[in-house]
Structure 1
Amino acid sequence: MEQLLSTILEQFKAITYVEWFGVITGALCVYLAAKEHILNWPVSILSVATYIYIFYNAKLYGDTILQFYFLGTAIYGWYYWSYGHLNSLKAERPVSHINKKDWFTIAIILLVGSFIFGYLLDNYTDTDVPYIDGFCTVTSFVAQYLLTRKKIENWLIWIFVDIIYIPLYIHKNLLATAALYFIFVFIALQGYISWKKSIKRQKSF
């Protein structure tokens, strides 16, 4: 037990300032998103740029590609949330639900996309976790898109994929990032509860 704790402590000591910066900005941007605060998008850009470097060096190529997608959606989300309210720091775009047809589409995207992406990573990169990387990447694609559209279900998908990411990052010795995704689970839960209250307020008007 002491040896295990000693190993974990040594791994945490080895965490770089770059990863800590990515962790801090990553936690901040998700917290702001849960609060429906539009500044989550510029903070997200800082975190994404940092994790492009981190994930590429960890040979998590699916996650590296995902960060470029996040960069694009951060710009799009920033615009979409503030459309018509350019001088407001509080997002005005209402929160909404996806329908049953959307869930079916999401399931197909996850099934087909994960297989294709995993196959490509397995055959054309040197990653040792092609299919789990592919699955998490595609799932994150979907969750992030729903976040930009202010669909409350994005938080449920984030909770699911964040839980899967934790052991993946531990496997890659990205302990600070694994801890960050553990925190993400609770922030996403808070986001879901907060957005649910927002929907109720909208219906009361």
Structure 2
Amino acid sequence: MTDILRWLFDAKLEFAGGGFLLWREVLGNLFGLLSALGGMRRKVWAWPVGIVGNVLLFTVFMGTVFGAPNPVNLYGQAGRQIMFILVSIYGWYSWQRARKASLGSEGGQAAVEPRWASWPARIGLVVALFAGTALLTPLFKALGSYEPVWADAWIFMGSLLATYGMARGWVEFWLIWVAVDLVGVPLLFSAGYYASAFMYIFYGAFTLTGFFVWWRIQRRKDRSVSVETGFPDPTVSIKDH
């Protein structure tokens, strides 16, 4: 076990000119991608798989603490891995409870039914994203996070809100991830975290796909309610639009 951990912390792929890629960073992002795929399919296992990736990426972004070759610390990126773990525990519990309540304990069933957030919730998400970024920027700057610090704070807040939205089953959470990716790609490239930057590019396309997948599922649910009752679902027309 010790040898495996030593390899995991030290292994890297070196390029000409002194560049390198940490295998921990690659593996952490692959676990994250697998978690996103499970989330799109509404599978409970998406949450624990994501937690494994979060642990790996935390050790990457706190590079100097864990003796990584990259001397750049991204406190927002590292801190959001801890946030991911905490919110993922909440999401894991919520999806398991929702699955048992609506579908029983049969394996292979979707854990959550996608729905639109209410307008107050949407406004709250936008306000929280900008206000949280403004509040965290001076904190991350004081800690010595990589410039531009506001981008690190934006990624942290967006990731927190997107993960919470996924736990609630809100379709809009995918769009928050798109906003995170648009800022995250240039930040990670400039900081030298190339594996994460390329994965963010892929995530951007993937999150758009996930948005349309959940949107179609939600629309089919609306149509089925209308067919069964002969009227639009009042909870959809009033609360969720």
The alignment's TM-score, normalised by the length of structure 2, stands at 0.76
Separation in 2, partners of 1:92, 1:127 = 38
> What does residue range 98-137 of structure 1 map to in structure 2 within 5 Å?
98-137=117-156
Cα distance, 1:128 vs structure 2 = 3.0
Q: What are the superposed Cα offsets for residues 33-89 of structure 1, whole Å, 9 maximum, x if unpaired? A: 112122211110110001111111131101111111100121111111121245534
The question of whether the paired residues in 1 share the 8 Å contact of 2:44 and 2:96 is answered with yes
- Unaligned regions of 5+ residues in structure 2, if any? 1-13, 64-71, 226-241
- Unaligned regions of 5+ residues in structure 1, if any? 1-7
Q: Label 1:134 to 1:99 Cα distance change in 2 as closer, same or farther (>3 A).
A: same
Match of 2:34 in 1: 28
Q: Give percent identity, aligned residues only.
A: 23
Residue 183, structure 1, aligned to residue 189, structure 2 = no
Q: Secondary structure at the match of 2:21?
A: coil
Paired residue for 1:69, among 83, 104, 116?
Answer: 83
Q: Secondary structure at the match of 1:151?
A: coil
Q: Secondary structure at the match of 1:128?
A: coil
Match of 2:229 in 1: none
Match of 1:145 in 2: 164
Q: Secondary structure at the match of 1:170?
A: helix
Residue 45, structure 1, aligned to residue 64, structure 2 = no
- Bigger CA radius of gyration: 2
- RCO comparison, higher one (Cα < 8 Å, 6+): 1
Q: Label 1:115 to 1:9 Cα distance change in 2 as closer, same or farther (>3 A).
A: same
Match of 2:235 in 1: none
Q: Count the aligned residue pairs.
A: 198
Counting helix residues as a fraction of each chain, which structure ranks higher?
Answer: 1
> What does residue range 158-177 of structure 1 map to in structure 2 within 5 Å?
158-177=177-196
Q: CA RMSD in A?
A: 2.0
Residue 81, structure 1, aligned to residue 95, structure 2 = yes
The question of whether the paired residues in 2 share the 8 Å contact of 1:38 and 1:90 is answered with no
Q: Label 1:11 to 1:163 Cα distance change in 2 as closer, same or farther (>3 A).
A: farther
Q: Label 1:18 to 1:163 Cα distance change in 2 as closer, same or farther (>3 A).
A: same
Separation in 2, partners of 1:194, 1:11 = 42
Q: State the AA in 2 paired with 1:92.
A: A
Separation in 2, partners of 1:195, 1:108 = 24
Match of 2:10 in 1: none
Q: Label 1:12 to 1:156 Cα distance change in 2 as closer, same or farther (>3 A).
A: farther
Q: Label 1:49 to 1:117 Cα distance change in 2 as closer, same or farther (>3 A).
A: same
Q: Label 1:195 to 1:34 Cα distance change in 2 as closer, same or farther (>3 A).
A: same
